[in-house]
Amino acid sequence: MSVRLISALSFVVFAPLIGGLISGIDRRITARMQGRFGPPVLQPFYDVYKLLQKENVIARVRQNAYIDFYLLFVIFSGMLLFAGQDLLLFIFSLTLASVFFILAAFKGSSPYSLVGAQRELLLVMGYEPMVLFAAVAFYMATGSFWVSKIIVHPVLLIKLLPGIFLGFFYILTIKLRKSPYDLSTSHHGHQELVKGLTTEFAGPSLAMIEVAHWYETVFLLAFVYLFFAATPWLGALAVVVCYFLEILIDNVFARAKWEVAVKSSWLVAAVLGFGNVAVLYLLKGF
């Protein structure tokens, strides 16, 4: 069995365990920041187990099918990344997963679900340019879109891609559903849309959405690691620091309007993303 296949299968097995623990630690740190004791670190696992025991009540027949494909493509995206495959294929697969999630929300009859789906669609439009700039920049810096070649590149890529890193960190707030950009759905009780995208889901289908978020958290943090892959200990430290800063941002900033989220994401992509790519173009002589 090849190393790439083992890496991909390891992701499938261990990512939800790691993602669930990260979610539990996130809740605990958030609670401490708010002056509360917080739930047990294993509380996310208890919640998912409880959801799996509940009746699978759905508003529309096709909702669950879309969620099935959403979870499937999230897992497939992570497998591509951890197997060292093409970075562009990883991005396209992840975007397709988001499309299935949006379609599932659109199938709901609740106005909260519909507004949540519309906002999620806008957020996808907001962060996609920065993600594509990141892929292009990795290619320009390493000469390959393949993650297996990017991760063994001898140069610390953060030195060549500081703008791309800062831009990706900015949109990471959107992808992790942290305030101020948790516009379509939220893990907090003060969300004005109740639960937005996930309003119409309950029981096992809601558990699948939560597990998909755990998978997504793991490979998004793995993407952060790519910038520091030449120095593994620095990469691990960067992942921890970045996630802690995301928790801090989540607790410090109030929710923004969708216009701010989209326009600021495009501005960041134009200045940091395109700017870094332009500098690389001049330095590398493409």
Domain extents for the chain? 3-284
Q: Which of the pair, 4 or 27, is modelled with greater confidence? A: 27
More confident residue, 53 or 199: 53
Evaluate whether 219 touches 82 at the Cβ level (below 8 Å).
Answer: yes
Both tokens of 214, joined, read 């755990």
Residues 6+ apart with CB under 8 A from 104: 63, 66, 67, 70, 201
What mean pLDDT comes out for the span 109-129? 89
Report the alpha-carbon distance of residue 7 to residue 82 in Å, rounded: 6
Query: Residue 256: its pLDDT value, please?
Result: 85
User: Mean of the pLDDT values across residues 249-255?
Assistant: 88
Rounded CA Rg of the chain: 19
Q: Is residue 192 scored above 70 in pLDDT? A: no
Q: How confident is the model at residue 90 (pLDDT cuts 50, 70, 90)?
A: very high
Q: Is the pLDDT of residue 285 over 80?
A: no
The beta-carbon contacts of 156-161 under 8 Å, at least 24 apart in sequence, are 156/228, 156/230, 156/231, 156/234, 157/226, 157/227, 157/228, 157/229, 157/230, 158/227, 158/228, 158/238, 160/280, 161/134, 161/137, 161/227, 161/276, 161/280
How much is the pTM?
Answer: 0.94
Is it the case that residue 57 has pLDDT exceeding 80?
Answer: no
Q: Which of the residue ranges 23-27, 92-96, 280-284 would you say has the lowest mean pLDDT? A: 280-284
The answer to whether residue 148 scores a pLDDT higher than 70 is: yes
Residue 9: is it exposed, middle or buried by C-beta count within 10 angstroms (0-12/13-18/19+)?
Answer: middle
In percent, the amount of the chain with pLDDT more than 70 equals 95
How many Å apart are CA 248 and CA 138, to the nearest integer? 28
Q: Directed axis angle between helix 204-226 and helix 3-33, to 10°? A: 100
pLDDT of residue 277: 95
Q: What is the DSSP letter of 157?
A: G
Instruction: Assign 3-class secondary structure to 241-257.
Output: HHHHHHHHHHHHCCCCC
